[in-house]
Structure 1
Amino acid sequence: MILKRSVPLPLLACLFASVAMPAQATTLEEAISAAMNHAPEIDAASADADAADARIKEARGHGLPSVTLSGTIGYGRLDPQGYFGLPASNVTPRAAQLTIEQPLFTGGRVSAGVAQAKAGSEAARAGETMTRSQIVVATVQAYGNVLTTRRMVTLYEQMTRQMEQIHRAARLRFEAGESPSTDVSQAAARLAEAQAALEAGRGLAVSADARFTNLTGLSPQDLQPVPENPAIPQSLDEALNIARANNPALAQAEAALDAARAGARGARAERLPTVGAFAEGSTIRDQFFPDYRADGATVGVRARWQLFSGGRVAAKITESDSAVRAADARARAARSAVDEQTISAFQGVRSAVLVEAAAASQAAAAAQARDSVRHEVRVGMKPQLDLLDAEREATAAAVNEVSAQSDRIVAAYRLLALLGR
């Protein structure tokens, strides 16, 4: 016989907990992906782009056949006053008409409307791309800020503890008559400075965490270190060519110019006639005398040409021409701005890489100098003030190093945003 033993539930819970998978750290790419799925700005931009696409179908619809059904029905009394010997009687007058019409010539109104709608769709899609790029850059910056502020808090906590030890040692030496009260005052001042920096850093960390959560919907826990830069163009000329071809802000400006030109063509089309083929069928009952019946069918061509509009069409043409000039000026300004921003961003990436390397060297040198000064102060070779300065400089250099790492990755993604990537 096989004996069965039940395992207590608390023990089972402990066993499952012991084999639970460790929490996964969040990488920068995961944060960006979460922001793409979380940001309401992207949903709004996508909806705007879908609406712009729908306007293309609407514009094309003006050149397609239309079918209209209309009808009336009523109740009343009709008295022919003895005409044709017809008596008065209650009637139900009713009529129905079905019209099918196909535009044959619109003077360019339909094609101009379609072109204008297509340009609007291109502008909306460029706006969606620009929104996505802005969210990516903001997420990268928020990611770096979380890492920077948390490192700041850690460094300031360490500096505060060091300042507390230095202040305690200075007070003990003063009480023993080995040092002047100036050392105690200086140590107290630097301790207060470190405590203030620590509280400011904690405040910045709370704000950075809130910004990161707002962008990604994630809790900023266990973020991975800032990665290496993504692939960027090797030369400035290559970066400029890519930006001129793909920059979303420039694409928006050029689409706006295309839309303005299409609007000008549509305004001039108002001077021309419209021609359409139509077919109509109608039925009428009880309309003129009791039991009146009439059915009809017509096929033909209908034309309309407005010969005088009181200056409305001329004013519309002038307005549209002015809109074209304005859009052209904005497009030229956008091209210049994109070139300027790309040059600045490309150089900014290179500068950020060099600054990061210099900040790392500075941090290492400052830490080494602090350790040396700490030993020299301990043996009486240097005054206490030198150690206070060395602690502050080492902490500032370490903060600059982590800040430079964040600046470097943000600069790279800002360049990619200008390139439309």
Structure 2
Amino acid sequence: MRGVSIFALGFALLAPAAASGETLAGALARAYELNPTLNSARAGQRANDENVPRALSQFRPSVRTDAFLGVERRRSVQKSFEYDNGNRLEPLWVESIQNNRGGPPRSAVLSVEQPLFDGFRTKNSALAAQSNVHAGRERLRLIEQRLLFEAVSVYMNVSRDTAALRLQQNHVAVLEEQLRQTKERYAAGEITPTDIAQAEARLSAGRSQAAMARAELDASLARYAQVTGVEARRLAPGEPVDRLLPKTREAAERVALTEHPVVRAAQHDAEAADLDIRVIESDFLPSLSMVGKVYTESDIDGRGNRALGAQLLGKLSVPIYSGGGTSARLRQAKETAGQKKFDVDAARAELMALIRANWGGLQAAKAQIGAASAQIAAAERALAGVREEAKAGKRTTLEILNAQQELLGARLALVVAQRDRVVASYAVLAAMGRLSAQQLGLSVAAYDASAHFEAVKDSWGGIETPGGR
């Protein structure tokens, strides 16, 4: 029960609006559905899916037709000789112009080519494309995690800044009352004008701090609308997600190494890089295909003749030498594959550091809540004591003002600590790779990145997307 009361204390000022206000889960669901950055990433992944049917198309038949239509007119000059009594006279040049007899020359060809062997290029290209699709899904999951965490942060920032503004406004009201009492005591001859000046200075500072708190809240509200797509209204206090976290940091690390999208994406990238090597190796192998043609020709020779024919050919291509370019690409692909394997190790190391930092931040936030709560209790007792002693003339106005400022600082510290406590729990969940709509149980239809892939992976044609575009 003590933990619950401490948690509620930080945002007690928000309680009247919480009954019918927005919840953290509702804000996360809205961001998951409406955020344009996330929707853009989903569209990019759908485009990435199309690389698989593109790769498979390399081993499918290609059909094309070509038609030709033209005009032809021939002009010829012939050399002839005349004889007189057996004697050849000077040659004569005879010019003639001939038009096509059967009309304009025309032809049409229908050709079909079917690959039979391509050095396993298509197979490995398709597998590499699938690995890239899986890597893209993990990157999409990472973007989803970042968005949900950002939504948690902006939600808690608005809650924190709203509570901070109310505390600052209440503090200004207290300082105004303190100034009024100070003037009454001065009129009674109990204190000097210096006490009034001190109270006025502290009131001016309080009003300045309240104005700064308003500006910070406005900035948080703008960021909230950007992330969630709606304006923030009556936010209910956010709760940590300790129920989804393991008991120990070591357990969180084990989950992260197997489930975090950064590690999974790096592993799929390494798989794709290995397959890219095999794709380039196919350039050293022969390729075989069958080519069939059906053609018709009319008046190609200008004499009105027609022809109809068909061909069935086997096409064998054997690479011999490419100037060293293919070898360079192969060496480059091997180095890239080695780089991707190092990237997996780097991702794991980075993830371990992130888990430890976030786990430590969570423990620190828990401790800060208890410390801030104790600080508030002590500051309240101190302020009450200073006020009583001031009535007896044992404390000055400045000491009262300082005690009030210390109490305000303690209350603000609790608000900040409570915000950090909630955000830190989500940070650990994100570092584990489990910050998702499904894990949080959000009331929203989870986006299935595999549905589009299944719809297009074996496509043989069609220009309309599964979504109707």
Q: 2:174 aligns with which of 147, 162, 175?
A: 162
Partner residue in 2 for 1:6:
none
Determine if contact 2:163/2:415 at 8 Å carries over to the other structure: yes
Q: CA deviation at 1:385?
A: 2.1
Query: Are residue 120 (structure 1) and residue 116 (structure 2) matched?
Result: no
Could you tell me which of 68, 84, 89 is aligned with 2:100? Answer: 89
C-alpha separation between the residues in 2 aligned to 1:368 and 1:209?
35
Alignment partner, residue 238 of structure 1: 251
Which residue number corresponds to residue 356 of structure 2? 343
Displacement of 1:320 after TM fit?
Answer: 1.4
Matched, 1:102 2:148: no
Q: Which amino acid aligns with 1:178?
A: E
Give the alignment's TM-score, normalised by structure 1.
Answer: 0.88
The answer to whether the 8 Å contact 2:21/2:234 transfers is yes
Aligned partners of 1:149 and 1:204 also within 8 Å? yes
SS in 2 for 1:70: strand
Deviates more, 1:109-118 or 1:372-381: 372-381
In the alignment, which of 232, 236, 241 is matched to residue 224 of structure 1?
236
Counterpart-to-counterpart distance in 2, 1:346 and 1:390 = 35
Partner of 2:365: 352
1:77 aligns with 2:73: yes
Of stretches 150-159 and 221-230 in structure 1, the one that deviates more from structure 2 is: 221-230
Alignment of 1:269-288 (within 5 A): 269-288=282-301
CA separation of 1:58 and 1:344: change in aligned 2, threshold 3 A? same
Q: Taking structure 1 as reference, are residues 228 and 87 closer, same or farther at Cα in structure 2, changes over 3 Å only?
A: closer
Counterpart code for 2:314: V
User: What's the counterpart of residue 43 of structure 2?
Assistant: 47
Q: Quick check: 1:149–1:205 contact (8 Å CA) kept in 2?
A: yes
**In the alignment, what sits opposite 1:5?**
none
Measured on the aligned residues, the alpha-carbon RMSD in Å equals: 2.2
Deviates further, 112-121 or 394-403: 112-121
Do structure 1's residue 320 and structure 2's residue 345 form an aligned pair?
Answer: no
1:144 maps onto 2:140 in alignment:
no
How many Å separate the matches in 2 of 1:271 and 1:61? Answer: 21
Residue 301 of structure 1 corresponds to which residue in structure 2?
314
Q: Which amino acid aligns with 2:282?
A: A
Tell me, yes or no, if the aligned pair for 1:79 and 1:89 is still in contact at 8 Å. Answer: no
| Preserved contact between residue 345 and residue 411 of structure 1 (Cα < 8 Å) | yes
Structure 1 partner of 2:462: none
Structure 2 unaligned runs (5+)? 1-17, 79-96, 435-469
Instruction: Provide the secondary structure at the position in 2 that maps to 1:380.
Output: coil
Q: Tell me if 1:406 matches 2:419.
A: yes
Amino acid of the structure 2 residue aligned with 1:59:
A
| Paired position in structure 2 for 1:376 | 389
* Residue of structure 2 equivalent to 1:259: 272
User: Deviation string for 1:148-194 (max 9, x for gaps)?
Assistant: 11111111111111112222322333344321333223222322221
Query: Is 2:189 the partner of 1:177?
Result: yes
Aligned to 1:35: 31
3-state SS, counterpart of residue 50 of structure 2: helix
1:40 maps to amino acid = P
Structure 2 counterpart of 1:341, which letter? L
- In structure 2, C-alpha distance between the alignment counterparts of 1:363 and 1:93, rounded to whole Å: 99
Q: Aligned AA for 2:34?
A: H
Q: Which moved more, 1:55-64 or 1:255-264?
A: 255-264
**What is the identity percentage for the equivalent residue pairs of Structure 1 and Structure 2?**
27
Residue of structure 1 equivalent to 2:263: 250
Amino acid at match of 1:283: T
Contact 1:80 1:88 in 2 (8 A): no
How far 1:81 sits from its partner (Å)? Answer: 8.7
